[in-house]
Amino acid sequence: MTETLLKIEHLVKKFDDNLILDDINLEVKKGEVIVVIGPSGCGKSTLLRCINALEPIQGGTISLDGEPIDDKSRSLSVLREKIGMVFQSYELFPHLSVLNNVMLAPLKVQKRKKEEVKEEALTLLERVGLKEKAGSFPRQLSGGQKQRVAIVRALCMHPELLLFDEVTAALDPEMVREVLDVILKLAAQGRTMIIVTHEMQFAQAVADRILFLDGGSIIESAPPEEFFEHPKTDRAKQFLNTFTFEAVKTPHKTIKEEED
Amino acid sequence: MDWEFIVQHIPLYQEAAWLTVRIGLLGVVFSILIGLVCAAIQYFRVPVLRRITGIYIELSRNTPLLIQLFFIYYGLPKIGIQTDPELCGIAGLAFLGGSYMAEAFRSGLEAVSPIQMESALSLGMNRRQTMGYVVLPQAASISVPAFIANVIFLLKETSVFSAISLMDLMFTAKDLIGLYYKTTESLVLLVVFYLLILLPVSVCGTLLERRLRYAGFGS
Ligand SMILES: Nc1ncnc2c1ncn2[C@@H]1O[C@H](COP(=O)(O)OP(=O)(O)OP(=O)(O)O)[C@@H](O)[C@H]1O
Ligand SMILES: [Mg+2]
């Protein structure tokens, strides 16, 4: 449990002259679940994209299993195989059936045997309740179903690390639960994950550690009980306040609007 | 209507139609090749070549085929290149069609969102696999309607070939009208033969589009 899987040291990310991530240091142990929260535009997505080398970085190092990740590395696709990523907008391949979406990379990238991959794909789909959708096309699925397929597609590559970027943000409220349940199960299996989310209750339930990101830096890093009960910094307190405030304020607002 | 005249002249039209089809098909094939190369150059933003293809596309799209044909037919011999009218026809059609095809393919490629590519990359695919399994199949199917419209457009444009003394359908019709004053009959034959060429293309195109729609696209 104490083995380090991902290590980020002095990471600097700029877009042109804008400093987006400023000296990020982070160590993720095997089996650890990290939840990253912070205000919009603080660089959460950018952090995940840097870890997957979808963005070039301007300073520092990121390494997985001791191997450095950088966008010039020849073994980049080998490293990316070990990192599964799930996007807010699902990004299933619309021209392929659910089963072929899941099987494509294991077959073409890992050159595994078709029967074996198919069996695993179907087992994984069954676990998220979508075995009977194997032959469907993405456009025939609901948002929640698409997102569960996207998770299965990442899992079928046997990744060592899973990255989730606001995977429920585009979903209707009634579908959020089915996706979060899948992620909770993965956490229970001991998967290593970095999750960006705005679902605070879920964050509290799933995280081993919360990272609070603001202005491109990690402001707080603490276990969820500690972070949510006793945030150390004013910025974190303010951020958490906006959530409780909104929760109280919204109903009033709608009632008022109805009266008008 | 002089049916005897019509029946008598069908073979003449057949020959002309064959010429139109031959030039049309070869012209379309070369258009596709030029279009693919130009679209790739534009999509991958190849320096220098990108500028050149940009100029070519504007030039080709904004001048009439007739003028392009004149340049090739009368212009090339002036700089010492011998030209055969049939080759000129094919070259003219390819010059015109190349830019239309390039635009169809490029817009297909650009309609595939960059994040689709990222999702393929994040599964460990390399650039080639990402293009081959994810981007190109989607881009191709998105391009199909514009592609079919272009094929039909190009086949219709073949009607100006008589201007460079190619004995195509249009030429034949004009010739017969000049010789026998059988305007109606000659024009009926002309329309019928153009329809015989274009309708099958159109029907195939519609079937192809429908098939692609049912194959799970457009999500
Ligand atoms: N490709 C880009 N070019 C320039 N600036 C960018 C680019 N992508 C992101 N940024 C900027 O980087 C900053 C961080 O963006 P990022 O998407 O990482 O934020 P985020 O924390 O994920 O926000 P959200 O909660 O809204 O998703 C933002 O200010 C954004 O404007
Ligand atoms: Mg984001």
Residue A133 belongs to some domain of the structure? no
Half-sphere exposure of B173 (CA within 13 A, CB side): 20
The values of phi and psi at residue B51, to 5°, are -60, -50
Which residue in A151, A248, A123 sits closest to B122, CA to CA?
A151
Confirm or reject contact between B133 and chain A (CB < 8 A): yes
DSSP A207-232: -SEEEEEETTEEEEEE-HHHHHHS--
Per the CB < 8 Å rule, is B123 touching A81? yes
Summarised one tens digit per residue, pLDDT across range B16-72 is 999 999 999 999 999 999 999 999 999 999 999 999 999 999 999 999 999 999 999
Helices (H), A62-140: 76-81, 98-108, 114-127
- pLDDT digit string, tens, across residues A94-104: 999 999 999 99
- CA pair distance A122, B114, nearest whole angstrom: 29
pLDDT-derived band at A77, boundaries 50, 70, 90 = confident
Of residues A193 and A244, more confidently modeled? A193
- Identify all chain A residues contacting B126, using CB atoms and an 8 Å cutoff: 77
What percentage of chain B carries pLDDT values higher than 70? 97
Query: Other CB atoms closer than 10 Å to residue B104's CB: what's the count?
Result: 24
- Report if residue A85 sits inside a domain: yes
Burial B177-206 (b: 16+ CB within 10 A, else e): beeeebeebbeebbeebbeebeeeebeebe
- What pLDDT score does A248 carry? 53
Q: What is the average pLDDT across B149-160?
A: 93
Global confidence as pTM: 0.87
Q: How far is the CA of B123 from the centre of ligand 1 (A)?
A: 22
The string of pLDDT tens digits covering residues B69-115 is 999 998 888 888 888 889 999 999 999 999 999 999 999 999 999 99
Among A11, A12, A15, which residue has the most ligand 1 atoms within 8 Å of its CB, making it the best to mutate? A15
**Domain-embedded: residue A74:** yes
Question: Percent of chain B, pLDDT > 90?
Answer: 73
Q: Other C-beta atoms within 10 Å of A42: how many?
A: 21
Percentage of the residues of chain A whose pLDDT score is greater than 90: 83
% of chain A residues with pLDDT over 70: 92
**CATH, residue A68:** 3.40.50.300
Establish if A132 belongs to a structural domain.
no
Tell me which chain A residues have a C-beta less than 8 angstroms from the C-beta of B133: 93, 104, 108
Ligand 2 centre to CA of B57 (Å) is: 38
The predicted pLDDT at position A192 comes to 97
What pLDDT sits at residue B210?
86
Q: Under a CB-based contact definition with an 8 Å cutoff, are residues A140 and A62 in contact?
A: no
Model pLDDT, residue A76: 85
Q: Write down all domains in chain B, each with its CATH number in brackets.
A: 3-214 (1.10.3720.10)
Write out chain B residues lying below 8 Å of A93, CB-based. Answer: 116, 119-120, 133-134, 138
Band the pLDDT of B218: cuts 50, 70, 90: very low
pLDDT of residue A256: 46
Q: Tell me which residue range forms the domain holding A29.
A: 4-93+156-241
Cβ–Cβ under 8 Å, residues B186 and B176: yes
Q: Per-residue pLDDT for B142 more than 70? A: yes
Split into its structural domains, chain A has a count of 1
What does the pLDDT average to over A11-16? 95
Which numbered atom of ligand 1 lies nearest the CA of A43? 18
Domain membership of residue A186 (yes or no) is yes
Whole-number average pLDDT of chain A: 91
Question: What is the model's pLDDT at position A258?
Answer: 45
| Residue A145, domain member (yes or no) | no
Look up tokens 């535009």; give the residue.
A41
The tens digit of pLDDT for each residue in A116-141 reads 999 999 999 999 999 999 999 999 99
pLDDT greater at residue A166 or residue B76: A166
Q: Judge whether A112 lies within some domain.
A: no
Cα–Cα dist A87/A133, whole Å: 20
A193 occurs within a structural domain: yes
